[in-house]
Chains A and B, each alone.
Chain A
Amino acid sequence: MEQENKQGRRSEILSEIARIASDVGASVLRGLKKVFSNGKTITGFAILMFFVLVAIFGPLIFPYDASTDMANTYLMPSLEHPFGTDWLGRDVFRQVIAGTGSVLAIAFYSAIFTVVIGTVLGIVSGYLGGWVDRIIMAITNIFLSIPSFPIYLLLAAIVTINTPLSLAVIISIWSWAGLCRSVRVQIMSLKERDFIQICAVMHMSKAHIIFKELMPNVFSYIAINFVMAMRNAIMASVGIMLVGLAAYDPTNWGAIINAARTRGLMNVKNIYILMYPLVCIIIFQIATLVLANGLDETLNPRLKVL
């Protein structure tokens, strides 16, 4: 009798779990369907996925050989070398492929750091208000008023950069402030809305209100800003490499451009080498912008009303 009861309860719990799982799955699917109903989102996402695939599988199929081959310098594009070779006879196509991973890693890491720091500080500052808000805003003001690019260069000189992660940390240290400020403004307006007021009246914990009530409401905004942070990270990292700092990875697109540029642009062949990473960066940046716009169109409630 007791055994049966236990089994019955277990099956009940299992079915409950299954129901919740299917509910979550369905809502995730519905969300994905909604997000990917937008043409811009699909285009942007497809291009980004292409770069990700190149970064993962490219080096396996086309391994990069850094050894020099002085007999074959400055070759024009051919079947063997689709993008030609550089001044040391190295294959440019394989260099660009080898650099994709590093570029994407920098963009991804620094977008994560930027978004996490900016969102957490923005929500805390906007929701708690008072002294916390004032202190966080004072710090944000410092970060916003000191120009960022010279600081990236300074930090690149202070910290030895030898991995994409360290470069990403440097970039995100000085780029969260704008996001923090705009999240704060959003939270401040959400705070006055009825459902948050009711939560406060019901004595729900601040952690619950912040993570369960406020977070989902700014989630779409954060998703869009994640993509934008990736753009800015690429802009900044390539810029740092163009100045010649952070030269830890000679195949990073910025490093290739810088190397070709310092070789001298009077030589047309250097321009050919530099063109490929340049075009890659432009395609990547346009893809992220298109993706961000697409997400904005589907997720932003403000635009839906119009």
Chain B
Amino acid sequence: MNDSMIPAGAATPPRDGKIKKIFGVIGKFLQKYSYFFGKVGISLITLILSTIALFFLLRMIPGDIVELYALRLQNQQGITFERAYQLAAQLLNYDPNENIFQAFVRYMGGLFRGELGTSYLETGVSANSLIATRLPWTLFISSVSLFISFFIGIAVGGFVAQKRKGIANKVASGYIAVSGSVPDYLIALILVIVFAYQLGWFPAQNNYDAFKVTPGFNLPFILNVLYYAFLPILSYTIVQTGNWILHMRGSCIGVLGEDYILAARARGLGEGLIRRKYMKKNALLPLITQFGVSFGALFGGATLMESIFNYPGIGLEISNRIVNRDYMVVQGLIFFSAAMVILVNLVVDLIYPLVDPRVRKG
């Protein structure tokens, strides 16, 4: 009996070894993918900190949201203020006695359930429903123009970098200077004034003509949407192209100083071939990060651009609701756009080593 009992001292070493082994495996796994986990960790911390910052920023707004809502109810339904306040607190799911910490916990709970914030101005409207209806329009306009300007930018930038003495470079520099210095919304305003109000070629606002076409997958609707989207896309493209030319030219000039370009020239390869096969591929790498960052920023919409075209995107919604003091929805929308920026940056960071092997080692 006593013999069959395993002494405690003898039993632990193998188990200890096993645990050590497991930890070792986990450690190796973490070490191997430390880049991955590091990036994910930093993104998560940033997201949490941003949420906290946003929450407390919105709490700093003077004037109680419930009180505002109660005043509105009082005027609408003709009831006493106390009754309206109770009703408002009930409708907004808000406890006037809870402190800021409890409110924060409740807000975080809502976020985990996927509720970004409900409007108190309109019933049945929340940040979620607004994102669902507005985001497609924002993304449509901004991503189309981002792609157009990116491809124009890399083509022109690559061409100009090789012929830095030519007149094309001077024209490109002038374009970069002017398009970079005029605020984007003023370019939009000028385009609206010229093409919509003066010439009357394009509509000045909205996303489609609700009287003429029915939304759905039919040709007249798509054509109408494209017609209405033309001016916004044009102004976005004008603004962004200069930036892409600038970055591509800078990146290309850097690449042109490398030894392999010299070697290619020494082998007698043509300039066109060098541009396509050697310069552009290498020069594009740093621009991928830029492209990703720009893409992440799209989700918040361009507030002013959309309000000038009165285009029903996320940005217009944010600015309108800030003016109307619908802060719960604003909080949700800004949280969403910050989260998308962080997420897209994370994806870019994770993809980049796959595209550029030099980063993996360094």
Q: A147-B334, A265-B192, A289-B177 in contact; A238/B183 too (CB < 8 A)? A: yes
Residues on the A chain within 8 Å of B303, using CB = 149-150, 153, 239, 243
Q: Is B160 interfacial (CB 8 A cutoff)? A: no
Residues on the B chain within 8 Å of A239, using CB = 183, 185, 303-304
Contact B181 A142 (CB under 8 A): no
Contact A145 B192 (CB under 8 A): no
Q: What mask results when residues 61 to 99 of chain A are scored 1 for a CB within 8 Å of chain B, else 0?
A: 000000000000000000000000000000000000000
What is the chain B residue whose CB lies nearest that of A147?
Answer: B300
Given the complex of chains A and B, what is the CA–CA distance between A266 and B204 in angstroms?
10
Q: Is B49 interfacial (CB 8 A cutoff)? A: yes
Contact B49 A154 (CB under 8 A): no
By size class, the interface of chain B is 35 or more
Q: Is A105 interfacial (CB 8 A cutoff)? A: no
What is the chain A residue whose CB lies nearest that of B182?
Answer: A282
Contact A285 B183 (CB under 8 A): yes
Q: Is B186 interfacial (CB 8 A cutoff)? A: yes
Given the complex of chains A and B, what is the CA–CA distance between A138 and B197 in angstroms?
47
Residues on the B chain within 8 Å of A141, using CB = 42, 46, 49
Q: What mask results when residues 244 to 287 of chain A are scored 1 for a CB within 8 Å of chain B, else 0?
A: 11000000000001000100011010010010001001100110
Which of B49, B185, B193, B318 contacts A153 (CB under 8 A)? B318
Q: Is B168 interfacial (CB 8 A cutoff)? A: no
Q: Is A132 interfacial (CB 8 A cutoff)? A: no
Contact B62 A158 (CB under 8 A): yes
By size class, the interface of chain A is 35 or more
Contact A150 B318 (CB under 8 A): yes
Residues on the A chain within 8 Å of B46, using CB = 138, 141-142, 145
Q: A149-B304, A265-B193 in contact; A157/B61 too (CB < 8 A)? A: yes
Q: Is A146 interfacial (CB 8 A cutoff)? A: yes
Given the complex of chains A and B, what is the CA–CA distance between A234 and B182 in angstroms?
11
Given the complex of chains A and B, what is the CA–CA distance between A141 and B297 in angstroms?
14
Q: Is A229 interfacial (CB 8 A cutoff)? A: no
Q: Is B72 interfacial (CB 8 A cutoff)? A: no
Q: Is A224 interfacial (CB 8 A cutoff)? A: no
Q: Is B40 interfacial (CB 8 A cutoff)? A: no
Given A278-B190, A282-B182, 11 extra CB contacts under 8 A: A141-B42, A145-B47, A146-B338, A147-B297, A147-B337, A149-B303, A155-B57, A234-B183, A243-B323, A257-B189, A266-B197
The 9 closest A-B pairs by CB, nearest first: A285-B181, A147-B300, A289-B181, A141-B46, A146-B338, A235-B183, A153-B322, A286-B181, A145-B341
Residues of B within 8 A of A (CB): 42, 45-47, 49-50, 53-54, 57-58, 60-62, 177-178, 180-183, 185-186, 189-190, 192-193, 197-198, 204, 297, 300, 303-304, 307-308, 315, 318-319, 322-323, 325, 330, 333-334, 337-338, 341-342, 345
Residues of A within 8 A of B (CB): 138-139, 141-142, 145-147, 149-151, 153-155, 157-158, 231, 234-235, 238-239, 242-245, 257, 261, 265-266, 268, 271, 274, 278, 281-282, 285-286, 288-290, 293
Q: List 30 A-B contacts (CB under 8 A).
A: A138-B45, A142-B53, A145-B338, A145-B341, A146-B54, A146-B334, A147-B300, A147-B338, A147-B341, A150-B303, A150-B330, A150-B334, A154-B322, A158-B62, A242-B307, A242-B308, A243-B319, A243-B322, A244-B323, A261-B189, A265-B197, A266-B197, A271-B193, A271-B197, A281-B183, A281-B186, A282-B186, A285-B181, A286-B177, A288-B181
